[in-house]
């Protein structure tokens, strides 16, 4: 686990005659204890090291809200960051502090989720498409009728809102699919596990489960409660991908929608390119998610070749985002910034 300190620095200032300019990178993350976010931060450290132009990565890493994130970003500005990579807690609430940074010449890149401040760069998965693709797969798997559980992320954050929008748009095409229970997992394992236990004990009848990425623990609860599997949609998290690949003969059908945490490293690459003026990127970049299911030959092949026992079970199986990231898989796993 990454340490949940307010500000954690790795690396040091550049030294030695003739050394090129080195930059300070700031990172603002507002959810701890989450494997996806941990991998995101590791990808930023790995890309900082691989770039050869970063002297230090300062990480503001704690579970907090928009007000706390604003304070963290201000601290990063004061700490001399040249590029700040943020996973935003709110689409609009951070705009003033982002503008404060960019007015000082600091490049700000929002990753994973969008912000509305036009001076910031945004690189993220297309989260509306994420919700739509998974919901469409589930509705088709159920033959266009049935009851489903919707297990969302954090109420009010941009990615959750966008994914719910995508799910709602998909289900508009399937009037006989009903959401009979909606929960907010906070993208945390323990709440999601308890919610599934509560759903089982409540007697709610349901035919499928759509999750916003807290997926393997849902499968675990079916197993520990001795309940027959229903179709489950999740993300390309390592343990869930392995479950889809190995539990099919036990009745598990499901789909993983891709959502790569190394979007963090990609965001840093975009930020450094903007800072150095080496490449002109669009201010908003969307990655296109894919669906890997265990009910088709192509999907099964992809799942079987992708899960990786060398990775943390709650990391995504994605370790890079080409063409932006340039580090190796081992760089990501070691989670070391420049030294």
Q: For residue 110, give the 3-state DSSP assignment.
A: strand
Q: 239: helix, coil or strand?
A: helix
> pLDDT tens for residues 8-27?
566 544 333 344 679 999 99
pLDDT digits 0-9 by tens, 246-304:
999 999 999 999 999 999 999 999 999 999 999 999 999 999 999 999 999 999 999 99
Structure tokens at 120: 């910031």
The answer to whether the predicted template modeling score (pTM) of the entire model surpasses 0.75 is: yes
Matching fold, domains 8-125+260-287+314-334 and 127-257: yes
Sign of CA dihedral 163, 320, 241, 224: negative
Please name which of 24, 119, 25, 46 lies closest in space to residue 315, comparing C-alpha atoms. 46
Per-residue model confidence as pLDDT tens digits over 91-127: 999 999 999 999 999 999 999 999 999 999 999 999 9
Pick from 8, 1, 117, 9: which is nearest to 66 by CA?
Answer: 117
Superfamily of domain 8-125+260-287+314-334: Response regulator (3.40.50.2300)
Which residue in 12, 27, 23, 24 sits closest to 84, CA to CA?
27
- E strands present in the chain: 8-11, 23-29, 54-61, 83-86, 107-111, 121-125, 145-152, 176-184, 208-211, 232-235, 254-257, 284-287, 291-293
Output the pLDDT for position 8: 55
Answer yes or no: are the C-beta atoms of 111 and 100 closer than 8 Å: no
pLDDT tens, residue by residue, 51-77: 999 999 999 999 999 999 999 999 999
CATH number of 127-257: 3.40.50.2300
For the chain, the domains span 8-125+260-287+314-334, 127-257
């Amino acid at each position: 686990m990454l340490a949940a300190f307010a500000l954690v620095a790795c690396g040091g200032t550049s030294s030695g005659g003739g050394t090129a300019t080195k930059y300070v990178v700031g990172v603002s993350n507002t959810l701890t204890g989450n494997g996806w976010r941990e991998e995101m931060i590791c990808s930023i450290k790995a890309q900082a090291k691989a770039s050869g132009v970063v002297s230090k990565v300062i990480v503001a890493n704690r579970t907090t809200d928009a007000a706390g994130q604003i304070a963290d970003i201000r601290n990063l500005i004061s700490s001399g960051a040249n590029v700040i990579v943020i996973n935003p807690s709110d689409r609009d609430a951070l705009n003033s502090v982002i503008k404060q940074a960019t007015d000082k010449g600091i490049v700000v890149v929002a990753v994973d989720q969008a912000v509305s401040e036009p001076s910031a760069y945004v690189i993220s998965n297309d989260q509306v498409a994420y919700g739509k693709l998974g919901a469409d797969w589930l509705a088709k798997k159920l033959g266009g009728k049935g009851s489903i559980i919707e297990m969302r992320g954090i109420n009010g954050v941009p990615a959750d809102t966008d994914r719910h929008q995508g799910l709602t748009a998909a289900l508009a095409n399937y009037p006989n699919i009903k959401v009979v229970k909606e929960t907010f997992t906070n993208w945390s394992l323990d709440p999601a596990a308890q919610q599934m236990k509560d759903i089982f004990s409540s007697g709610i009848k349901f035919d499928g489960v759509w999750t916003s990425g807290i997926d393997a623990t849902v499968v675990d609860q079916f197993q520990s409660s001795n309940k027959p599997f229903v179709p489950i949609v999740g993300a390309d998290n390592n343990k869930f991908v392995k479950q889809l690949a190995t539990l099919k003969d036990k009745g598990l059908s499901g789909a993983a929608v891709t959502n790569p945490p190394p979007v963090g490293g990609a965001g840093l690459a975009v930020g450094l390119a903007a800072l150095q003026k080496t490449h002109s990127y669009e201010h908003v970049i969307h990655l296109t998610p894919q669906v890997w299911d265990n009910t088709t030959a192509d999907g099964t092949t992809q799942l079987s070749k992708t899960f990786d026992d060398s990775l943390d079970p709650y990391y995504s199986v994605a370790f890079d985002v080409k063409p932006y990231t340039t580090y190796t898989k081992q760089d990501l796993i070691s989670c070391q910034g420049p030294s």
